[in-house]
Amino acid sequence: MPEASEDRILYMLKSRGEQTAMTIAQKLSMSSVGARKHLLNLNESGLVDYSDRREEVGRPKRYWTLSQKGHARFPDAHSDLTLELLTSVRRVFGDQGLEKLIDDRESDAEAGYKTAMAGCDDLQSRVERLAEIRKREGYMAEWSKDPDGSFLLMENHCPICAAATECQGLCRSELILFRAVLGPGVSVERLEHILTGARRCSYRITSET
């Protein structure tokens, strides 16, 4: 079982993507020797992989990433039960019934999100609150503002990944949900998608007014 420092490394690789040992050491306030030792332990446990890349000058740099086993340490919430329920709904009620289930879930989520966003009077505060909600729901969400005034919402984990793989209407529903709760005159574009092989899901949010 990885120790606390190694758990912190796994979390960093999950939330920030590939990193060098030096960057990990700096960000987590540990020695570079200690970071490399932890990474080697994690590699022996099958939790991280690495690749060596030659850059413009100097020796090749080693970049560390989570392995498939490492990603699995960040659980897909109730995946087995959810998949069984989706399969049962589709079998009993057909695809139309499954769509009705997704629409109902979307309506409930929209009402809850809008209640949580009460008092957010501008787009930045709504994006910030949306990221807080998604973080509480297990998406490891964060946000940033670009110099052009647009916003980036990033979700470094998908706690419903197995369900979304089985029923991609859930991902479509989330995009509709974001557009509904961020308000009229706001464009939400998905830039990265875990289900297509990306490390994370990310969305560009822009005011059209």
**pLDDT tens digits along 153-187:** 999 998 888 777 777 778 888 899 999 999 999 99
Read off the pLDDT of residues 74-108 as tens digits, 9 standing for 90 and up. 877 656 656 677 778 888 888 888 888 888 888 99
pLDDT digits (tens, 9 = 90+) for 9-55: 998 898 888 889 999 999 899 999 999 999 999 999 999 999 998 87
Closest CA to 153 of 145, 162, 161, 165: 145
Beta strands in 76-178 (DSSP E): 141-145, 151-155
pLDDT of residue 1: 43
- Write out the residue range of the structural domain in which residue 45 sits: 4-71
Among the three residues 22, 52, 71, which one is the final residue of a domain in this structure?
71
Count the domains in the chain. 2
- Whether the model clears a pTM of 0.85, i.e. scores above it, the answer is no
* Angstrom distance (rounded) from CA 35 to CA 89: 47
Domain boundary among 16, 47, 71: 71
Among 50, 71, 92, identify where a domain stops. 71
